[in-house]
Structure 1
Amino acid sequence: MKIEVNKIAELNGHTSPIYTLHKGTADHLILSGSGDKLIAEWNLKTLQSERVVASIPAVIYVICHIPKKQLVLAGTSNGKVHIFDLEKNEEIKVLETHTSEVFNISYSLQTNCIYTSGGDGNLAVYALDTLDFIQIIKLSDEKVRHLDFNYKTSEIAVATGDGNIHILDLKTLLEKKVFLGHQLSSNVVRYSPDGKFLLTGGRDGYLNIWQVGDYEMKISIPAHEWAIYDIAYSPNSDLFATASRDKTLKIWDSKTFQLLKVINKEDDAGHQFSVNKLIWSTYNNYLISASDDRTIMIWDIIRDEN
């Protein structure tokens, strides 16, 4: 498989590094959160900013949109999670469980829970319906960076700053396995859509692929020169992308794990600084990247099977 990449647009408006992206209220809408303390909505049809969704009194590291509830959650540098009701167009609650930065917010309709994690080494759980606090789990003395769900095996994978990967039971949250994922911080975990593999990215720049079940390492790839911050699968799952502090995006074959394309500043008018977050949208199959350079870039990924 060969890949052709075309840069569709560069979205400007944020005045500080952009740390987070999330899918919006429709396929053609996305949300972004930045060091400028703003959540913005962007339109992939018009390639313009739609509106400022919220202004928050702290740097935004992560946002999470929950369509079923019409809520947007924003995790900040001071450990708070601000919750906005999109129908009421107002903030309805602030969660103050964490004592330092919030790096990840995820939710599961299967468990009916919201999960937040942060620099205090804790994973916090809340009821999705009531937003009430349920429990907190101490996972590490370092940061808890990211988590992902595997509904095929009823597991949660969690990446922590001490390099470890924690595998938790989805329903009980009991720890099933802990293993060293990376020599430095483990930054991102991403289950393959078929649930058979766990992909992890670390501060060491390695992309590691683990066999789900025994979690034995299948492949270890020195994928980037600096830390890997995100991994995103294409809508049909045949490709995935990695984003790195080394300013590049890379496109990979999800079956062979072979590198297909490097997207950089020199060859593709890519990002000037660290690439922090990815979305692979179902709208036009666009790959969307956000960076410390304060831009959001829209990429058209074209497959050439010949």
Structure 2
Amino acid sequence: MQVNKLHTLLGHNDCIYALCEGSDPRYFYTGSGDGMVVEWDLDEPKDGKLIAKLDHSVYALAVDKQRNLLFVGHNFDGVHAIDLGDNKELWSLKLTDQAIFDIKVFGNELYVGTGDGVLIVLDIEERSQKKHIKLSSKSIRVMSIASSKRHLALGLSDNSIKVLDLVNDFKPIANLTGHTNSVFALGYSPDEKFLISGSRDAHLKIWDTINYFLDEDIVAHMYAINYLYFSENGKYLATCSMDKSIKVWDFEERKLKKVLDKARNAGHGTSINKVFWSTYTGQLVAVSDDRSISIWQIETQIV
């Protein structure tokens, strides 16, 4: 597997925590501790465009492709909806005095995971709160949706993963235990046969979604796993960590294929917080505490 570092992008003044692909995948968005939300163009990546400047840090971003909106999780405040057609804020809702660690769009609903363990459900069309579900006294750190199954998985700082039924009014389906520290990373495989979790305990766990049983446990990194992301076809999985590395796994074979780090691939020198595979270019994009964004070209046939 050949890796070529293409770009290092600068512009944020604080750690970058949030990253997501646009409804037009030529663009992606970043949010950071400086409260800035920036749009980047993969065709001309060097110059980012500031589209929002908020008072507090931004840990979470989510794109609503149906409405061409970008939702911004504004810590200690709420959510902001930005129209990606003209990059203007359409509306905002004050929701919480807690951190917002993740947000997800599903149909007409927006799910907001907060630092006090509450899942807030918003009606996007009505621009209103529908439901508050208290799941834990600890933070909801990450969420993933299995669209076909209509399952919502949530990773928490109480070390658990909770799976809720989106068809039957958020009824609990499973409570997965096994991690020994906060669950920061979570993702369903594209075929929804597996749920993969990564934790501050540095373990990667693979859960079979038929009955949500543990299929495999991998000691994947030296320190906390911050995020994970599948390639579009589901063959490869990227994980990023507080240990300053990105690892690319052959998910079908359950084998480590490549380590991207500072020494070998001009990688990041501090914790890597988010990563995604671009569906536009097949490139791997990552953001870090070092305030920079990295873009790598990896053998195109893998994605």
TM-score range, shorter chain: over 0.9
For residue 83 of structure 1, report the CA deviation from its aligned partner.
Answer: 2.1
- 2:270 matches 1:297: no
Equivalent pair of 2:75/2:97 in contact (CA under 8 Å) = no
Find the counterpart in structure 2 of residue 17 from structure 1. 15
Return the alpha-carbon distance in structure 1 between the equivalents of residues 85 and 267 of structure 2: 36
Please report the RMSD computed on the Cα atoms of aligned residues, expressed in angstroms. 1.5
The equivalent of 1:66 in structure 2 is: 64
Q: Percent sequence identity over matched residues?
A: 34
Give the equivalent residue in structure 2 for 1:137. 133
- Superposed displacement of residue 168, structure 1: 0.5
Q: Is the 8 A contact 1:74 1:83 kept in 2?
A: yes
Q: Report the secondary structure of 1:133's partner residue.
A: strand
**Structure 2 residue 3 is matched with structure 1 residue 5:** yes
- TM-score, normalised on structure 2? 0.95
Aligned-partner SS, 1:68: coil
Q: TM-score, normalised by structure 1?
A: 0.94
What is the deviation of 1:98? 2.4
**3-state SS of paired residue (2:47):** strand
Cα distance between partner residues in 2 of 1:240 and 1:204: 19
User: 1:269 matched to which residue of 2?
Assistant: 266
Deviation at 1:303, TM superposition (A): 6.1
Q: Tell me by how many angstroms 1:291 deviates.
A: 0.3
Structure 1: gaps of 5 or more residues: none
Unaligned runs of 5+ in 2: none
Are the counterparts in 1 of residues 182 and 199 from structure 2 also a CA contact under 8 Å? yes
The number of equivalent residue pairs is 301
Residues 19 and 33, structure 1, Cα contact 8 Å, conserved in 2: yes
| Distance in 2, Cα, partners of 1:90 & 1:304 | 37
Q: Which residue of 2 aligns with 1:41?
A: 39
Residue 207 (str. 1) matches residue 201 (str. 2):
no
Equivalent-residue separation in structure 2 for 1:142 and 1:250 (angstroms): 28
Partner of 1:49, secondary structure, is: coil
Q: Tell me the amino acid that sits aligned with residue 232 of structure 1.
A: Y
- Report the residue type matching 2:263 in the other structure: E
- 2:152 alignment counterpart: 156
Q: How many Å separate the matches in 2 of 1:26 and 1:87?
A: 10
1:187 counterpart = 2:184: yes
Any residues of structure 2 matched to 1:91-106 within 5 Å, and which? 91-106=89-104
Change over 3 Å in CA distance of 1:15–1:141 after alignment to 2? same
Deviations 1:196-242 (A, max 9, x none): 10100001011000111221111111101111111111122211100
SS of 1:267 mapped into structure 2? helix
Deviation at 1:24, TM superposition (A): 2.0
